[in-house]
Amino acid sequence: MTGRGGEARDPRGPAPATGAQPSDVPPAADPEASSRPTRSHRLRKALGTAPSRLSPPLSKYRWLRWLTYLLVGWLALGIFLGGGSDMSNDYGLSTPQGLLAGFVQGVAVVLALRRPGRAWALSLSGAVVTALIVRARLPDAQPGPDWPWSAPEILAHAAVFLFVALRLPTRTAIAALMATGLATFVVQGIIGGGQYESTGVTAVAIFAVAVLIGTAFRGRAEARTRLVQQETITAEERSRRTLLEERSRIARELHDVVAHHMSVISIQAQVAPHLVENPSEELKENLDGIRKNALEALTELRRVLGVLRSEHPEDPDDPYGLGEAGTGTAPDAPQPTLDRLDALIDNTRAAGLDVVTEIRGEPSRPYSPGVELSAYRIVQEGLSNALRHAPGSTVRVEITHFPEGLYLSVINSRPEHPVQPSPGAGHGLLGMRERATMLGGHLTATRTLHGGFAVSAFLPRDGRPHPDGPRRPTTDPRLPAPELHFPPPDAPDHVTLQPPNPAGEESP
């Protein structure tokens, strides 16, 4: 910033003089003290300057909001005109005085839509002032007028109390009701007047009913809000738990792959000295250290794997969660790879699905075990979803080998007949997405325009995430790349996948 004389000024203020002690510098403002609610803030909140969820528009439906405004406007107009005329006739006021008293009550009713606390104060003040003014005009003989509350004032104050109970805390509404009752007692019981028809008890009873109704509606709305919030939290927790369960299952499979490699390292380190004539002591020591480290890592890996597998890891009799003999799948069973896809597809065909497979290209070098395992699981889950959600459909499985990685596609047609929604926990699509993301690839799962479903994924060859994010395969003139037609952003539920045609013929 630049001062008046053109010299630069530090927006943070002047720097302390050289040699100044820390005590010479003014203390910084306390952020906690500035965030504390002040007395005026609490007063404004109590008077209704911080509207609650029940404040106007009072409803999420526009027609109901306008109906509320219309009814309140008609009520205020009726109190202003009809009430002012009644008070002029009953209390002997002039027409302008009666209309003024009615106008105050009408304004209070309209103000209660936005500022119920101030509307209550205005309505009560107007009623008390009107009662004190007409006190001297009360007759000495019966029958007398209604006093200290006239019928229009009771109607207006009850409407204000309804909005007070709807929008302000219950304790504030009760406090306002007690203040109204105290003011009524002082005007009628202590000050008193001539002959009149007492309306104090009736008025306070009507006000109490209005507060009770408003509090009931407010409690119902707050309970519904808390229920919606709890359901939202429950759904989020369920999604988080499903995600953790699927990640745990993926981790168990990948731990098996890592454990296999650690075992191979240990065996190779043990065999290596016997493959060399007269190995040196340093070589033997290094290979022995490699073997010991591999065995230690394998032991720790088995412990972690046991915790992941076991439902009760604290059980000392079964620390690895292996269970009784013959009660489940062996934990050291080999993990599936792409070589077992044929058996998987044959089993799916035996279950009643018409499965067509198409494999393009050949891998230039072997894929990493994690890529092969994830590819097998993605195809397996795609076929399982087709069996569950599209019985009798035709499924097309495409596998394309690119220099950068592996492209998978599982597309099923429309089911032969409508299928009831499956009550599954949502592990399938979530697991496929996690597997592709873990390897730095990408996955698309969406409905097709013809009523089917399509799952497509690309997995990088080495199974390592690219530093720039998920990668798509580049165009290779030797291999026809699948054509993906993604939907526009406003229609995320539709996608058309056109399989490549190496011969150039038109697709049916």
pLDDT tens-place string over residues 42-66: 655 555 544 445 555 455 677 777 8
Average pLDDT over residues 243-262: 68
pLDDT surpasses 70 at 507: no
Whether 263 shows a pLDDT value over 80: the answer reads no
pLDDT in tens, 352-398: 789 999 999 888 888 888 888 889 889 988 888 888 888 888 999 99
DSSP character at residue 4: T
Cα Dmax for the chain: 134
pLDDT at res. 273:
79
pLDDT higher than threshold 70 for residue 433 = yes
Confidence of residue 223 (pLDDT cuts 50, 70, 90): confident
List, in order, residues 6 or more apart from 254 with CB less than 8 Å away. Answer: 370, 373
| Helix, strand and coil in the chain, % to nearest 5 | 55, 10, 35
User: Does the pLDDT at position 495 exceed 70?
Assistant: no
Q: What tokens does 427 get?
A: 């592990």
Report helix, strand or coil for 255.
helix
User: What local confidence, expressed as pLDDT, does residue 423 receive?
Assistant: 53
Out of 49-58, 219-228, 285-294, 480-489, least confident range:
480-489
Half-sphere exposure of 291 (CA within 13 A, CB side): 13
Q: Please enumerate in sequence order all residues whose Cβ is within 8 A of that of 379, keeping only pairs 6 or more positions apart, or say none.
A: 341, 344, 397, 399, 408, 410
pLDDT value of position 19: 41
Please tell me which residue, 307 or 14, carries the higher pLDDT value: 307
**Closest C-alpha among 161, 174, 166, 171 to residue 222:** 166
Contact call for residues 177 and 213 (beta carbons, < 8 A): no
Taking a C-beta distance cutoff of 8 angstroms, is the pair 345, 355 a contact? yes
pLDDT tens for each residue of 326-337: 344 444 456 788
pLDDT of residue 480: 41
Average pLDDT, integer, range 30-45: 55
Which of 490 and 203 is assigned the larger pLDDT? Answer: 203
Residue 156 pLDDT > 90, yes or no?
yes
- Range with lowest mean pLDDT among 15-19, 266-270, 466-470: 15-19
Structure tokens at 455: 């799952």
pLDDT at 208 over 90: yes
Q: Give SS3 for 124.
A: helix
Amino acid at 470: P
pLDDT score of 46: 53
294-319 pLDDT, tens digit per residue, is: 777 777 766 666 655 554 444 444 44
